[in-house]
Chain A
């Protein structure tokens, strides 16, 4: 099985080169717990629940982390400085030819970086991994304007519904961000298939997730390689109150979709009371990176 072994070795080199890149930039490797006390609040991501310690008569519930984000932010709030982690993450209800209930994630944070500096850092990482394909950077609004002639930031819910209908698509969606997303999947993503590496930045504020909002946009970006979403990053919000507000908004949406609702991770919110340093962070899907770059 020479091809199998060759592939394992190529994967080993990828992981090793990622580590070398961060070590040489003095980014510290960390390991954070994967068993968490609270499930993710993300509207469209579901945590996998596990029960432990039955035999000890102290049975309790945990949730496998869907990303190491919150645990790494606790370290940042404690003064860790730049950190990275490579770990397995787990998500329920994700299964398909490029989705899996378990996958490998690279997550890293650079203190003092804004969104564009972090994008530059990822470009440097790709080069250090041996990928020197041309990189395109385009804002979410420009992508919609160039590829679909839609003014995505200034279109309201009804306007976007009409656009969906004009494409013969179902317009039965709950929120404006859902319509923005289906239009992106239908009209923009297929255009990205011919682009080796594409960063889409400044998402509409309704899709801010945990990124800083600035006017109509949030400083959030995604990286696509030949049309496949590989990375998602933010210029991070910094105060405990902002995190609580965003979490509560998401839980409200989960509730209206009749999805399971967990409690908030109060330990995280307590740790964040000192504030997160100004930083940007990103999650990169390693399995997809490996297969799409054929490194």
Chain B
């Protein structure tokens, strides 16, 4: 199945140079004296890189067979990360290179979005907000109110996040996975 530039819209998944890509932005440019073009920004769903291409209006690209499914993260055996589609109980696994930043936020039993291309998992997106446990941080010093940046804390996934001084080991904290920022105590 092919889509022509007139059908392009944001979020559409298409094949570009052999890789599945998602349209981030589609701009129609009609030079006063020239033919119309589509200047399109894509995100490569495998590498995560964005790229820009310009097409003659009317050109078409092949649709990418891409699906985004909510799955449960089961466990990691150290080499592969295992997920399950709760609808079909089908299991999928990904290597570290495809996990991206999801590695920093997923704990067993968490739900997340797994992207499948031709039924093979290619990437994982953690929920925007996760709750994690502080396993290591310096004790906050009493009376130290001058610092506004807080202090680093290591969470149970291994990720390090800046937290306010009052946060202690064993506390559960909420983290925004898009910015790696502490948003509050759970």
Name the distance in Å between B150's Cβ and chain A's nearest Cβ.
Answer: 35
Q: Which residues of B contact A97 (CB under 8 A)?
A: 28
Chain B interface extent, by class: 10 to 19
- Taking CB atoms, residues of chain B closer than 8 Å to A236 are none
The answer to whether B30 touches A170, judged by C-beta atoms less than 8 angstroms apart, is: no
Given contacts A44-B33, A44-B35, A232-B33, contact A182 B56 (CB under 8 A): yes
Q: CB-defined interface of B56-90 with A at 8 Å, one 1/0 digit per residue?
A: 10010000000000000000000000000000000
Q: Is B17 an interface residue (CB 8 A)?
A: yes
Interface pair B53/A168, CB less than 8 Å apart: yes
Interface residue count for A (Cβ, 8 Å)?
29
Residues of A within 8 A of B56 (CB): 170, 172-173, 182
Give the docked Cα–Cα distance between A283 and B33 (Å): 12
Q: In the complex, what distance in Å separates the CA atom of A168 from the CA atom of B34?
A: 21
Residue of B nearest to A285 (CB): B32
Chain A at the B interface: SS class? mixed
Which of A42, A168, A177, A181 is in CB contact (< 8 Å) with B17?
A168
> Is there an interface contact between B54 and A182, defined as CB atoms closer than 8 Å?
yes
Residues of A within 8 A of B53 (CB): 168-169, 186
B37 at the interface (CB under 8 A from A): yes
Binary B-proximity of A207-238 (CB < 8 A = 1, otherwise 0): 10100000000000010000001001000000
**CB of A45 closer than 8 Å to a CB of B:** yes
Q: How far is the CA of A79 from the CA of B30 in the complex (A)?
A: 35
Q: Tell me whether B32 and A222 are in contact (CB under 8 A).
A: yes
A96 at the B interface (CB under 8 A): yes
Q: Which of B33-58 contact A (CB under 8 A)?
A: 33-37, 39, 52-56
Nearest-neighbour CB distance to chain A for B67, whole angstroms, equals: 26
- A63–chain B nearest beta-carbon distance, Å: 18
State whether the Cβ of A99 lies closer than 8 Å to any Cβ in chain B: yes
- B29 located at the interface, meaning its Cβ lies under 8 Å from any Cβ of chain A in the complex: yes
Residues of A within 8 A of B34 (CB): 44, 177-178, 181, 185
Q: How near does chain B come to A177, taking the closest CB pair, in angstroms? A: 8
A9 to B30 Cα, complex, angstroms: 29
Name the contact of A99 in the complex, choosing from B28, B35, B52 (C-beta under 8 A): B28
CB of A246 to closest CB in B, whole Å: 12
Q: Which of B17, B32, B33, B37 makes the CB contact (< 8 A) with A182?
A: B37
List residues of B whose CB falls within 8 A of some A CB.
17, 28-37, 39, 52-56, 59
Chain A residues proximal to chain B, CB less than 8 Å: 42-45, 94, 96-99, 168-170, 172-173, 177-178, 181-182, 184-186, 189-190, 207, 209, 222, 229, 232, 283
A-B contact pairs, 13 of them (CB 8 A): A44-B31, A44-B33, A45-B33, A169-B53, A170-B55, A173-B56, A182-B37, A182-B54, A185-B31, A186-B37, A186-B52, A186-B54, A209-B33
